[in-house]
Structure 1
């Protein structure tokens, strides 16, 4: 049973959050369409209920305590979650919304072309996508799940493996026409473009070719999209996942080097444990399992470059 003292009403919490965010009861009152005296009374009532002061009064100014500032961050997230959930229920009471954090390249080249099938299969579900390059704390952001690259080490989360990443060395055809490549050492005549999140990629590639691992030099990128464009422009050689490179190969913007792709890390769907049984997420996991299984059967030959 919840203790009412620690379950303040939304009116009390909204007043406190507005004062904390705007810096004054007058500004909070305008935002909440209340009188200034009403906002002051609501804040005082919350302080009484919690048994602690939230603000120090200095003449006409309210200065939040350090504890109140930390408390306010949690309250703000909670109010945003309640608002979002209410809006989603009002807009789509029969389905629900799936908020998904995605990696930019994965979202653009792998997920987006397939997502229409999911929406057709589950027409009541709305999918919201936002890009994240680094892992984050699910408790701090309102995501139901995320696409993660690496291993199954996301803290306090459920994991579902999607597939392994296979990297291919790619170069602009114009460069390759001038300087054919017959061995891994031939690649060293060009800069080796690098991705921040794949620091060991070139080492693995050279080892897979049976070649000595050189000191890697070249431009550093934070996203595959910009690194791909740099390779197309002839600025160096890029290591790209096969699902990204295959379109560039078909359209002859890039050419593969040698005949081996190199296995890197893996792609995972991860989710906070308390969202594991959320129906839209369960539907998304089921659909992903089917897609990954079908892709594995239909494209088993993609382990080898040139297919």
Structure 2
């Protein structure tokens, strides 16, 4: 424990970074300006380098200090989360879930009210990760991913099979029919930079050739592509049953539902360092029930 910086100094430092001044930090922590200054000096001595520099009449955090503050703030948040989850009382009725952005927005979040109705008083906090953030970093109790990591670090519960097929807005298909694969030549293909190869995989599964003669438009993230599909800009390749609510409500239609790519499995992953609470196990059981 002697290798840890003093907590009072960290609190003063974070308050000064957050508020932008020693005076505001002193007001926030009910301390004097001098006390804030002394605590920050203690931390600077401990680190062996300055954290603030003069900027006119005030002290300003250095770039090094701002980066340090971000990491220390995240660390204290994790400590606070752990204390709440493993403490007594209702604080344990919270589960932090990380999930891919599209899966969370189009599948998980619309269904969460069903879980809360079954387990009143529970709280599931969902954070999202984009394709570029699929590493297992961050603070969570359970994360949902399309692959299982080594068992030495996580327990993996497979619960969901996803495949891709062609999807389009009914309004677009009313203007430009798509009853046969040959009619694809009349449509704009919507692609996503973060999901390369999805069109080629589907076209290969469909046995379709002639892609080089077709027009396409590419977007940076799939949720942008998704709304372009819903708005009828063109046709795209999308995941099912992840987007099943969009199909069921008529926002999207699958012209060739039997032409699909190979399925992939979603897993509910729990770090081996996390002790599963009753809520955690209830959520896992609920996921297993959600077939579509």
State whether TM-score is above 0.5: yes
**Could you tell me the TM-score, scaled by structure 2's length?**
0.76
Equivalent in the alignment of 2:109: 112
Distance 1:226 1:16, change over 3 A: closer
Equivalent in the alignment of 1:15: 12
Q: How does 1:82-161 map to 2 (within 5 A)?
A: 82-85=79-82, 93=90, 95-134=92-131, 135=133, 139=137, 141-149=138-146, 151-152=147-148, 158-161=155-158
Equivalent in the alignment of 2:159: 162
Q: 2 CA distance for matches of 1:86 and 1:33?
A: 24
Q: 2 CA distance for matches of 1:241 and 1:53?
A: 51
Q: SS of the counterpart of 1:199?
A: coil
Q: 2 CA distance for matches of 1:63 and 1:174?
A: 56
Matched, 1:188 2:182: no
Equivalent in the alignment of 2:268: 269
Please, which of 28, 49, 52 is the counterpart of residue 48 of structure 2?
52
Equivalent in the alignment of 2:234: 236
**Deviation at residue 208 of structure 1 after TM alignment:** 0.9
CA RMSD of aligned residues (A): 3.8
Q: 2 CA distance for matches of 1:66 and 1:246?
A: 46
Deviations 1:54-80 (A, max 9, x none): 447769765667765554333222223
My pick for the range that moved more, 85-94 or 119-128, is 85-94
Matched, 1:75 2:96: no
Q: SS of the counterpart of 1:75?
A: helix
Q: 1 CA distance for matches of 2:149 and 2:12?
A: 40
The answer (yes or no) to whether the contact 1:55–1:62 under 8 Å persists in 2 is no
The answer (yes or no) to whether the contact 2:53–2:62 under 8 Å persists in 1 is no
The answer (yes or no) to whether the contact 1:103–1:131 under 8 Å persists in 2 is yes
Q: 1 CA distance for matches of 2:72 and 2:176?
A: 62
Equivalent in the alignment of 1:200: 197
Q: 1 CA distance for matches of 2:273 and 2:113?
A: 27
**Deviation at residue 157 of structure 1 after TM alignment:** 5.2
**Deviation at residue 14 of structure 1 after TM alignment:** 0.3
Q: 1 CA distance for matches of 2:4 and 2:283?
A: 34
Structure 1: runs of 5+ lacking an equivalent: 300-307
Q: 1 CA distance for matches of 2:70 and 2:247?
A: 48
Distance 1:191 1:27, change over 3 A: same
The answer (yes or no) to whether the contact 2:98–2:143 under 8 Å persists in 1 is yes
Deviations 1:136-163 (A, max 9, x none): 5655x433333334x3359965543332
Number of paired residues?
286
The answer (yes or no) to whether the contact 1:193–1:238 under 8 Å persists in 2 is yes
Structure 2: runs of 5+ lacking an equivalent: none
Q: 2 CA distance for matches of 1:161 and 1:120?
A: 24
Q: 1 CA distance for matches of 2:66 and 2:183?
A: 59
